[in-house]
Amino acid sequence: MADDLELRFERTVQAEARIEPRDWMPDGYRKTLIRQIAQHAHSEIIGMQPEGNWISRAPSLRRKAILLAKVQDEAGHGLYLYSATETLGADREDLTTKLIEGRQKYSSIFNYPTLTFADVGVIGWLVDGAAICNQVPLCRTSYGPYARAMIRICKEESFHQRQGYELLMTMMRGTQQQRDMVQDSVNRWWWPALMMFGPPDAESTNTEQSMAWRIKRDTNDELRQKFVNMSVPQAEALGVTFPDPDLKWNPERGQYDFGSPDWDEFWQVVKGGGVCNQQRIAHRRKAHEDGAWVREAAAAHAAKQAVSKEGAA
């Protein structure tokens, strides 16, 4: 019997069809997905902070509106993804607890600080660009609710990427001070953006099983290469350079060769030693704890309403 279920699951996945919440699935598949989608949701929520840092100081009303809308979109993405996780039997409150207790991760890119307004544009261009490269294949991932959430999210991310790039274009046409600001920001974000694809394939523990289950469709290094190939012409159009002396076109491979990120720094940030790790979690924890009385009030009020409805019936 169990073998039949397993067999049917395997066939569904191999045939590129979708697994839906009521379908049988292996425990490992369920656990892997809960971990991955929750981390993805946490990343959206923590990711509100670095950019939210500039809403009050945005230098034009148009940029303020764009940034506010973008950070609002990220909250929406977090919401979609927590909902997708709940279809697997997880609970949003419990996932939030795991995040603020450091038991679940989020993308380590958000542990880097936003120091100038150019960072808002560079995050849109490079960080959202890397996220899109990572996430477009997930629109065809084997778990239906996750795939559908990714389609909506990728559309909006794509839009954010364009807006970030447009901000940088505007700044590059501006004063020398603005151009220097953009280049400085690119210098600080380029390597962390490359690290967003995760460790090199040789050191990536989850890849093989995730590929077999069609959760993941490309390796970290394949996606990283694709991102570099995409970004170099965009940098040229913008008039900025990437801080990598080894970056050059390789006609034999038909791709760009590029240097290796500082993986020691990567692991240090992943393990909690980045500039902002503690600050990001403390911020999220404070919002959650300060809001507890509000959530309790909403629940108490809903319960009272339910009782009075019953009485009226």
Q: Which residues bind another protein (CB under 8 A)?
A: 45, 48-49, 52, 55-66, 68-69, 71-72, 75-76, 78-79, 82, 117, 129, 132-133, 136, 139, 151, 154-155, 157-159, 161-163, 165, 167, 170-171, 173-175, 177-178, 226, 230, 233-234, 237, 283-284, 286-287, 290-298, 300-301, 304
The minimum distance between CB 252 and another protein, in angstroms, equals: 21
Cβ 102 to another protein shortest distance, Å: 18
Nearer Cβ to another protein (101/296): 296
Closest separation in Å from C-beta 26 to another protein:
30
Give the three-class secondary structure for 1. coil
> Closer CB to another protein, residue 132 or residue 247?
132
Number of C-beta neighbours around residue 117 at 10 A = 20
Distance of CA 91 to the CA centre of its chain: 20
Compare residues 133 and 240 and give the one whose CB is closer to another protein.
Answer: 133
What is d(CA 75, CA 56) in angstroms, rounded to the nearest whole number?
18
- CA–CA gap between residue 108 and residue 111 (Å, rounded): 5
Q: What are phi and psi of 174, to 5 degrees?
A: -90, -140
Instruction: For residue 256, report the phi and psi dihedrals to the nearest 5 degrees.
Output: -85, 135
For the bound state, the minimum distance from the C-beta of residue 49 to another protein, rounded and expressed in Å, comes to 5
Smallest separation (angstroms) from another protein to the CB of 120: 10
Residue number, 57 or 271, with CB nearest to another protein: 57
Q: Return the structure tokens found at 250.
A: 């390789």
Do residues 48 and 145 lie in contact, with contact meaning Cβ atoms separated by under 8 Å? no
Residue 208 · residue 144 · CB < 8 Å: no
Q: Give 153-162's long-range contacts (Cβ < 8 A, gap of 24+).
A: 153/77, 153/80, 153/81, 156/73, 156/76, 156/77, 157/128, 157/131, 157/132, 158/132, 160/70, 160/73, 160/124, 160/128, 161/124, 161/125, 161/128, 161/129, 161/132, 162/124
Work out how close the CB of 145 gets to another protein at its nearest, in angstroms, rounded to a whole number.
Answer: 18
In the bound state with another protein, the residue whose beta carbon lies nearer, of 30 and 132, is 132
Quick one: 68 or 247, whose CB is closer to another protein? 68
d(CA 7, CA 9): 5
Report, in Å, the least distance between residue 295 CB and another protein. 6
**Closest approach of Cβ 174 to another protein, in Å?**
5
Q: Which is nearest to 141 in space by CA: 6, 269, 7, 12?
A: 12
